[in-house]
Amino acid sequence: MLGVKREQMESLRARIAQIEKRPMLEEGAALPPRGAEQDLLAAPAGLLHEVFADERRDAGATLGFALAQARGLLSPERPAILCLQLTREAQDMGLPYGAGLKSFGIDPHGVVLIRAESIVELLWAIEEAVSCRAVAAVVADIGGRPKALDFTVSRRLSLRAASAGTSVFLTRYGEEREASAARLRWRVVPALSGTAAFDAHAPGGPRWRVELEKGRLGQTATARAGTVDFLLDWTENGFVVVDSSRTTEGTSALPDRAPSSRAVPPALGDRLSQAG
């Protein structure tokens, strides 16, 4: 009897080991080897990403970064991007701008905007959207730290994304991080644009300072301690790495976000009307 149980245990261990070797389900924390930074910006479909900004005023940078990543996943078979927000936050955070999307090479007609009344409804909508074969990516704006979005839920989203081949980008805000099953976690800070090609005094294209806080790409990455930091330019062909650097574990390569030079009216910060 003991021999049978021992054989069953060995069989289960072998099956678990085989499952854990699958690239899309591998959980080994890793950062890319040097020289492979550009590959991360073209990460395969079917991954759960977290895109963090320290403050909500940088929401445009996180949304732009997520949409730029999603653009690379579009195809004739998967022509749609879904953007989800909570109804109560949509007025504060704003909506994607059609003309701006077009300048990024995204057809505005292929972007579907969804507003949910609660975080539970929003998470449900993400899972349903991921299952649609016409959707290339889902971008969901989550302003706070809702209890409904725990590790178990993020794990389910990660598995659903891997199974359907649809990437999910959760745009988040704040400096605190909770445990999640996201494969890639980015911290985004707006950067000063470079110079224009034909006018040194004119602003160039958009730039991001991006820190890869967590990278999980299974067999394609090598475990390293620390973080990797990118300075990114946007071109008609997508992201270009202008510069990259690495830091040791527990430190950040990104500069602290400079305080705003323009004071925000208290009433506006409290979501009260500014009308007389």
Q: Is residue 201 part of a domain?
A: yes
What are the tens digits of pLDDT across the range 204-247?
778 888 888 888 554 444 334 456 778 888 877 778 787 766 55
How are beta strands 238-247 and 207-215 bridged, if at all?
A: unpaired
> Which of 84-98, 119-133, 191-205 shows the highest mean pLDDT?
119-133
What domain range is 226 assigned to? 39-251
Rounded Cα gap, residues 11 and 126, in angstroms: 36
More confident residue, 173 or 7: 173
Q: Is residue 241 part of a domain?
A: yes
DSSP assignment of 46-112: S-EEEEEESSGGGHHHHHHHHHHHHHTT--SS--EEEEEEEHHHHHHH----HHHHHHTT--GGGEE
Range in 129-143, 187-201, 238-252 the model is least confident about: 238-252
Residue 87, pLDDT > 60, answer: yes
Residue 219 has a pLDDT of 40
* Phi, psi (deg, nearest 5) at residue 15: -65, -40
For the chain, the domain total comes to 1
Rounded Cα gap, residues 245 and 258, in angstroms: 21
Q: Is residue 164 part of a domain?
A: yes
**Residue 135 is part of a domain; what is its CATH number?**
3.40.50.300
Report residue 53 as tokens.
Answer: 């900004």
Q: Is residue 142 part of a domain?
A: yes
Q: Is residue 46 part of a domain?
A: yes
Q: Give the confidence band of 167 by pLDDT, cuts at 50, 70, 90.
A: very high
> Which of 31-45, 61-75, 254-268 shows the highest mean pLDDT?
61-75
Q: Is residue 265 part of a domain?
A: no
DSSP three-state, residue 267: helix
Q: Is residue 8 part of a domain?
A: no
